[in-house]
Structure 1
């Protein structure tokens, strides 16, 4: 027999609170104490865990949901549930914990990740594009297709999810484009913002909220209020520091106005961020800098700007990254940055394009657009809420908000390091729950997309109602997830002609012809089942599960989803060929009906599971099978209702590249 009693003197600091262990219990066990006003660190693990509250009262927070607990309460945490225990009372909150590994339970919990966010509002952001040009395939392959497919899948699983983005109007790159074109920055921003919105429509990725910052009358004052929150937190302050200036014009230099070699990786870079290694620079630390306008070596002077001592917030950033989905690539970047010498980030810059803060010390300066974006996301949520009747306030972000960011690696520093620090300062009580999905560069024929070198395929050049699903599928298969990948025009043509038309469409039309010829165009009821039939059904179920996993929040990968869609079709084609030998033989007619019913079930599953990636194809295929637009994710593989009319024989889901180019599509 083992008897353990709570002993405050035996407690030691652990998980942000105080804990002590219990030996010999047969499971992991221990006592814990949460002092008034404190909370445990967010914890997520593969064990099943039980808390038994023995004194005090407070709240448990699981995946952003809060529940009151008090002495006598027992809470069971499933594997992989992120949980926090907070003391909201005036006395110590004391609890007993027990935890153990159960491989079967952990496996089941892992497979249920697709539905774990259904009870919370999800705000899924694709990086607000800079309106200094339209969107090309390099842009579209990453954040915009990713966020759209993510939201479609979440909605099919019953979640409240919205895709939000907007035009990042106050970028210095907009001002540079305006100077180049002889326009006002506001004209350039408005023109390309509209072009970008139109391209997203062509991709079938139009967001639910598209915020145009320079056209939103409430935005500037609300942004100033956010900045004032940062100043009043005393986490940032106006500080004189070295800066670069154009030796010929005296112009203050940052971002697009200056280039040089990155002080970390020595790649060619513009000011403030290196696209290659992802690390920020302070501009004055560029190697051999050159002013973009005069092509001269800049002179070094000083400027007084509001500065954030980022190194002081390492612990806050790392705690934030532990709480949500933060890929190792981003955690490694943060580690590199915090290993550097103390680093002050300039949050304001001298400029006449942007929003000037209200603070007198910032006169003649604007809030740098990247920290501005930290507020812009909250403003987008508020704007969406007002349109759909939800009381979401940018000034009071809620713990139950689930924010999901899709962005390119070159924006990683801002999203996963800078913004968590700013949110901690502006809203110290907010437990920002943010997941990050990052993509690398997408190349074109082996080289970077480049507007200046005319090395780009613009969205409007390739997207039509007849090509959009083929483009989405190709981008899903080749988008740069974890590595740089490449768009090749010839490879796209081969995939369209050989796979989507030559395999997918050929199989579906052939299936339609067989249903028409043998069963009068209606779905037959399954007859006798053979082992091969049940084995194929099991294979389809495995594909359904794999697609569910590939599109789920934790494991989201369009590369994997596209591979599984292609594999589902290949499975069906192989099964069809195997069963063809006995088709038309009367003595095996019952078994043939089962085979046809299973092929139709495969086609129906394809329509349902393709919906997040290829929505038009999915809708057309579902209609050809006598169904409605797929809006619910399949929980199992089901046979198509016998007697349903099928219209696949002459269905056209994809058209050849030549038809697109000649305007015949």
Structure 2
């Protein structure tokens, strides 16, 4: 079977703050789990993201803190990298765009190609301006209501409906610095003409099977005949390579592909083959799977495919996997109100495998979901530290009294056949949920819970056979072997979500001769192996005191 090649990206976070669970439960966890699964299949995988240093939000943070944009972006890109490492979600490479010497070159190269191909158009458009602050106000500096759905929105993409806000159309726009109403001035801006590529994009969507809301939004945007801005009049950013637009910069949203490409070039610079990045960006065999928040649907689902098709040098997204917003106890995450759980806190205080598992169970895929503290406590202390821990410790303790078990598909008992049938059903769900077009962390995590629960029920049912006569003793050992077999399956399927738990089970099963020094491969599910189980020296999961949970939420919980 030929191996596949995947370029996997997580939408770049803005380098103006650290990462909270909303960021982590979305693109980063999805991209990480998908990458790990593809590597279990022995596919060729490169997982990339970067800190977006050129966003207006970085400039705003710099002004608010009396620092330079470079100081702000450098500090927070470094902080985000540390948080991703703590959460075990760190991509293969995670630089800041300002640290990438190739970023400016690639941004300008794509612009020049599109300009020469006649894909760009100079327009006179209304632009928000604050007379009080003497500032042209784009995304971070303008706040009002979306002219599509009426929700609160900045002057870029609406977080609620995902539609881009065309120039000057944000309703009741106010300056985020001084809170005064904004005037509009007519300015020249260069746009990528999506209208010209509408037919090509429609054909592109016909071959895709994305999440329903993402597909619907992309088609609505094409029907609205919205073009995408390439330039803006500002200081922070990469210069437009035209002599008559020296006071303009290239729009940071336009720069997304250049960010990914230059991050890959930078990644390859440390390899013996410096051109290795081209295997992912200039090969027809590559599948680019982009993980993004729903508000990035336009950029990754319409804008980037359109302009990369037009340039015809680099690959463009094959699958865009979106996620909705993630709240806390039925309230939106708000850093200004300190209503947030920071990744640097939760992954330091609580076992990262446990946090990752809960985030998967509650992942905001097709609808907004919540991190519910009480449910999280129950998973940690009841399901894992109590039920799972009791089963795992007892099973391995009993199994360690025997020399070895040959795990194969032969000589099943009636009860083990019933167990395997249920496990096979869950395995089918898990395999389907790890395909790009049907990817689901939620359903995967629920299937894992299902396997564990069935295993626990089976184990509890066979314990009464332990002290009976020799005939029943043989039956007991046979059932014990089947329960160990299911435990091994659990260890394999949890590898992408709970990697440390999986490694610990693998080590305790002993003599698992396939890939002995490495993580499990998916093919290990089919292997016959001889194991010599060991008694656990410590719990797999420990109960977390209420005082630790209290440290996560520095706000007074609101009763709904």
Per the TM superposition, whether the score is higher than 0.5 is: yes
Q: 1:502 aligns with which of 382, 386, 401?
A: 386
Query: Which deviates more from structure 2 when the two are superposed, residues 568-577 or residues 473-482?
Result: 568-577
Q: 1:443 aligns with which of 327, 341, 347?
A: 327
The equivalent residue for 1:254 is 138
Larger radius of gyration: 1
Deviation >6 Å, runs of 4+: 524-528
Tell whether 2:464 aligns with 1:576. no
Structure having the larger proportion of residues in strand: 1
SS across alignment from 1:631: coil
The equivalent residue for 1:623 is 507
SS across alignment from 2:123: strand
Taking a change above 3 Å as real, the CA distance of residues 373 and 662 of structure 1, as seen in their structure-2 partners, is: closer
Alignment of 1:42-61 (within 5 A): none
The equivalent residue for 1:655 is 542
Per-residue deviation, 1:607:
0.9
Q: 2:244 aligns with which of 342, 361, 366?
A: 361
Cα distance in 1 for partners of 2:546, 2:143 equals 44
Cα distance in 2 for partners of 1:458, 1:433 equals 30
Q: Deviations for 1:168-227, whole angstroms, at most 9, x for unmatched residues?
A: 110110000111111000100000000000000001111112132101123212321221
Per-residue deviation, 1:431:
6.3
Cα distance in 1 for partners of 2:297, 2:227 equals 18
Contact 1:122 1:162 in 2 (8 A): yes
Contact 1:242 1:302 in 2 (8 A): yes
Alignment of 1:120-269 (within 5 A): 120-269=4-153
Q: 1:646 aligns with which of 524, 534, 552?
A: 534
Q: Deviations for 1:312-363, whole angstroms, at most 9, x for unmatched residues?
A: 32212222223344322222112222332x4333211111101112112321
Cα distance in 2 for partners of 1:407, 1:290 equals 28
The equivalent residue for 1:312 is 196
Taking a change above 3 Å as real, the CA distance of residues 662 and 435 of structure 1, as seen in their structure-2 partners, is: closer
Contact 1:202 1:463 in 2 (8 A): yes
Query: Which deviates more from structure 2 when the two are superposed, residues 479-488 or residues 306-315?
Result: 306-315
Cα distance in 1 for partners of 2:373, 2:263 equals 36
In structure 2, stretches of 5+ residues that fail to align are 551-560
Q: 1:412 aligns with which of 274, 277, 297?
A: 297
Alignment of 1:54-133 (within 5 A): 119-133=3-17
Query: Which deviates more from structure 2 when the two are superposed, residues 230-239 or residues 127-136?
Result: 230-239
Per-residue deviation, 1:413:
0.8
Contact 1:239 1:305 in 2 (8 A): yes
Contact 2:51 2:96 in 1 (8 A): yes
Cα distance in 1 for partners of 2:253, 2:448 equals 38
Per-residue deviation, 1:640:
5.2
Taking a change above 3 Å as real, the CA distance of residues 431 and 355 of structure 1, as seen in their structure-2 partners, is: closer
TM-score when scaled to structure 1?
0.77
SS across alignment from 2:54: coil
Query: Which deviates more from structure 2 when the two are superposed, residues 197-206 or residues 520-529?
Result: 520-529
The equivalent residue for 1:294 is 178
User: Alignment RMSD, CA only?
Assistant: 2.3
SS across alignment from 2:327: strand
Structure having the larger proportion of residues in helix: 2
Relative contact order (C-alpha < 8 Å, sep 6+): which is higher? Answer: 2
SS across alignment from 2:204: helix
Q: Deviations for 1:143-180, whole angstroms, at most 9, x for unmatched residues?
A: 11111110110001110112110111101100001111
Taking a change above 3 Å as real, the CA distance of residues 218 and 181 of structure 1, as seen in their structure-2 partners, is: same
Q: 1:561 aligns with which of 424, 430, 444?
A: 444
Contact 2:384 2:541 in 1 (8 A): yes
Contact 1:605 1:637 in 2 (8 A): no
Taking a change above 3 Å as real, the CA distance of residues 386 and 288 of structure 1, as seen in their structure-2 partners, is: same
Cα distance in 1 for partners of 2:402, 2:194 equals 71
Aligned length: 541
SS across alignment from 2:288: strand
The equivalent residue for 1:348 is 231
Contact 1:608 1:633 in 2 (8 A): yes
Per-residue deviation, 1:306:
0.9
Tell whether 2:166 aligns with 1:282. yes
Tell whether 2:316 aligns with 1:432. yes
Contact 2:406 2:528 in 1 (8 A): no
Per-residue deviation, 1:406:
0.4
Per-residue deviation, 1:638:
5.7
Taking a change above 3 Å as real, the CA distance of residues 569 and 420 of structure 1, as seen in their structure-2 partners, is: same
Taking a change above 3 Å as real, the CA distance of residues 484 and 466 of structure 1, as seen in their structure-2 partners, is: closer
Contact 2:210 2:437 in 1 (8 A): no
Q: Deviations for 1:547-585, whole angstroms, at most 9, x for unmatched residues?
A: 222223332211111111111111111111222232221
Cα distance in 1 for partners of 2:286, 2:50 equals 19
Per-residue deviation, 1:250:
3.2
Taking a change above 3 Å as real, the CA distance of residues 380 and 662 of structure 1, as seen in their structure-2 partners, is: closer
